[in-house]
Structure 1
Amino acid sequence: MSLYVALTTLCNEFDAHSDHLRQFCRSRTSIGSSADFTSHDEYLLEGILSRLWQAWCHFCRTCVVESCIGTINGTGAAVAALPHATTDAHVSAAAIRAKGKPPPYWGSTNSILRYEPTWGDTDVLTKIVPRLQPSNQGQLMAAFSHGHGAAKALQLIRNAAAHDNVQTRGELQALWSKYIVFPITHPTQCLYWTEPNTKDYLVFRAVDDLLDAGMAAIS
């Protein structure tokens, strides 16, 4: 798959999910406190958030894997394959090892996807990409660094929603200084905290930033 196709897929998925989020906004008279959300709202938002996160993870995996086995970037230039990246399974195994084990990273294969790193986690990406060393690693590193804040915001909220406890709720405090917030009764309500400069809701600001990062990744 070319990197342009990967970005197109991400854009299409983000557009579809964002449309549901905007419809949610239009159905409200106000969004500014936990009282503005029903249990049904939280079910809906948790599902959409999960889809957004999965789309971002799939895009990041595609960028890294395809860059290693050889692809075409968004400008039409070839990204040369790495000598040991013969298949998707070779890159998968190398990424698993690069996350937390010493070199050599290449040489084995993996076919069990749940063993792979969390591809959308920019802390993980900025660790494994330099170790795998695709020829466009500089471009990927700059892009993933650019998207770090947005990716971490969605990741923290999704994790808190999926594993709702005192600790995951506490991790949401990392976002307090970056947004205009209100007290929440469920983590998904954080999606509608407000970015101070743009006055955008957190989720829409994050989507825009990740799309910018995606464009940078394929360029």
Structure 2
Amino acid sequence: MALLPVFTLMSSKFDDYGVELSNFLSGKAKVMSTATDFTLSDECLLEGLLSRSWQEWAHFCRSVVVLSCTGSATSTGVPIVAHPNALSPQHVGGAAAKAKKTPAQPTWGNVVNALRNEVTWGDTDVLATILPRMNVPRHGHLLAAFSQAHESAKAIQTIRNAAAHFNAETMADMVALSSRYVAFQITHPTQALFWTVPASGDYLFRYVLDDLKENASIAIS
């Protein structure tokens, strides 16, 4: 399978989420700029969009690594020769899990028996660790693309984790994250999706979706 359809699927989903975000904003009488601007219903909707966005990004990253290892083609049609030890997606998942734990070779030879035992594919720190250790085909190119997506990917991961595991420690992570953006004080992690990015002046959530799409297109090229 070529890499382009994997990107097309993620891009389409992100476009859908962007439409839902626009529809959400169109129903608001004012700019979302304080914690009191959000209702419980707002937070529930945003948490759903956030979770789905993170899952789509993680699925894209996994698919790109698996297909690169098992044999594929770039978006321009250049063949990607399979890694000789990548016998199946389960073998790729096993190699990734081993590579995350240790640089010791051999990385390949393990098989994961369940998706829940695989690495956090959307985590760019994990990708930076495992791609060279696994000797993923074109890993230098993939590392460059994923490194450019790092800030956006880590932002959405941090907010998603804080929403999924809402406690004082994850909210402290949110405070640390806020230093990168034009932020207001929040009472729930999903409200941070409406912090603004200094360079663009856009909402963080909308910026992240666009930035991840742009760098994902580089990863498959």
Q: Percent identity?
A: 47
Match of 1:148 among 150, 166, 174: 150
1:108 to partner: Cα distance: 2.3
1:103 to partner: Cα distance: 2.1
Give the SS at the match of 2:105: coil
1:29 to partner: Cα distance: 1.6
Cα deviation digits, residues 7-47 of structure 1 (max 9, x gap): 00110110111111111111112211111100011111001
Amino acid of the residue matched to residue 143 of structure 1? A
- Does 1:32 find its partner at 2:15? no
Question: Structure 2 length normalisation: TM-score?
Answer: 0.97
| Alignment RMSD | 0.9
Distance 2:15 2:8 in 1: 10
Equivalence for 1:41: 42
Equivalence for 2:133: 131
Range 106-115 or range 117-126, more displaced: 106-115
Which blocks of at least 5 consecutive residues in structure 2 are unaligned? none
- Does 1:164 find its partner at 2:166? yes
Distance 1:151 1:90 in 2: 25
Distance 1:117 1:110 in 2: 10
Equivalence for 2:53: 52
Equivalence for 2:97: 96
Deviation beyond 4 Å, 4+ runs, structure 1: none
1:175 to partner: Cα distance: 2.2
1:85 to partner: Cα distance: 0.5
Equivalence for 2:7: 7
- Does 1:73 find its partner at 2:74? yes
Distance 1:7 1:210 in 2: 11
Which blocks of at least 5 consecutive residues in structure 1 are unaligned? none
Question: Structure 1 length normalisation: TM-score?
Answer: 0.98
